[in-house]
Amino acid sequence: MQLTQAGGQRLAESELRDQSQRFLHGLREALRAGATADLDGPEWERVRSVLADISRRRAREGYSPADTATFVFSLKQPVFVRLRAALAHDPARLAEETWDISVLLDKLGLYTVALYQASREEVIARQQRELMELSTPVVQLWDDILALPLIGTLDSARTQTVMESLLQKIVDSGASIAIIDITGVPTVDTLVAQHLLKTVAAARLMGADCIISGIRPQIAQTIVHLGVDLADVTTKATLADAFQIALKRTGGSIGAIPAR
């Protein structure tokens, strides 16, 4: 049996052989211990561990759930051949044993699919967290001044990431002003405004004042229409305007370099 990733890369023969040997050894031990088809039994602990490791690795490496289940289902043919050779003289027992092993391997195959799905969900969740972290960078514009450019929709999960990133940067840098730029936020509704206010409040508790920039005319109208109170928050139309205010508050200035 050969397995191919979505990108076309095949599983190494040595790795497939090792996985097969571990699975078969565990299966043999379970059956010798009198295991039933109930996979929750202690006799199946080693098999469950082997299949969990295989399923997680294949989920991370991009193999399909069908490939993962086929790893177990491919055992049916050689087992059935052995059963026919051993029980050809007893058709009734051959049918019974064939059915029992078929049910067992089906359960093990479906078990790998469930593990694969759980592993893929873990991978997707981790990637989403990493993307949120990448999409909420906190940069230091100047001594004592931070900037947090937001792009895309601001929901509850992302707000938590935003606050954690901003607060940690405030602690690390000791900055007293943070500019939250929402130029890249497509819409601002009541929920988004509440998320922004929570972030501002959290930053203030850490000793940093916040300026919100990127307030476009349509966003200003929306905020007024929604009745959101931003009276205690300094707002500016552009990041440049907010940076000028931040420089004044920190006593900094930018001047042209004289010509030589």
67: nearest Cα among 30, 130, 139, 19: 19
The domains of the chain are located at 13-132, 139-250
Backbone angles phi, psi at 78, to 5 degrees: -65, -35
Question: CATH second-level architecture of 139-250?
Answer: 2-Layer Sandwich (3.30)
Asked whether the whole model's pTM tops 0.75, one would answer no
Give the residue among 48, 49, 26, 31 at the shortest CA–CA distance from 39.
48
CA distance 186 to 233: 20
Task: Look up residue 10 and give its two tokens.
Answer: 């095949």
Helix, strand, coil % in the chain, rounded to nearest 5? 60, 10, 25
- Is 254 buried (19+), middle (13-18) or exposed (0-12) by CB count in 10 A? exposed
Residues of the chain with pLDDT under 70: 1-11, 128-136, 254-260
Q: How many helices (H) and strands (E) does the chain have?
A: 9, 5
**Which H/E stretch holds residue 160?**
helix 156-173
Give the pLDDT of residue 259.
62
The string of DSSP letters for 80-143 reads: HHHHHHHHTT-HHHHHHHHHHHHHHHHHHHHHHHHHHHHHHHHHHHHHHHHHHHHTS--EEEET
Inter-CA distances, 24 with 17, 99, 152, 250, Å: 10, 19, 50, 69
Helix (H, G, I), strand (E, B) or coil at 181: strand
pLDDT at res. 260: 62
β-strands 177-184, 145-151 pairing: parallel
Residue 147 to residue 165: CA distance in whole angstroms: 11
Distance CA 43, CA 31 (A): 8
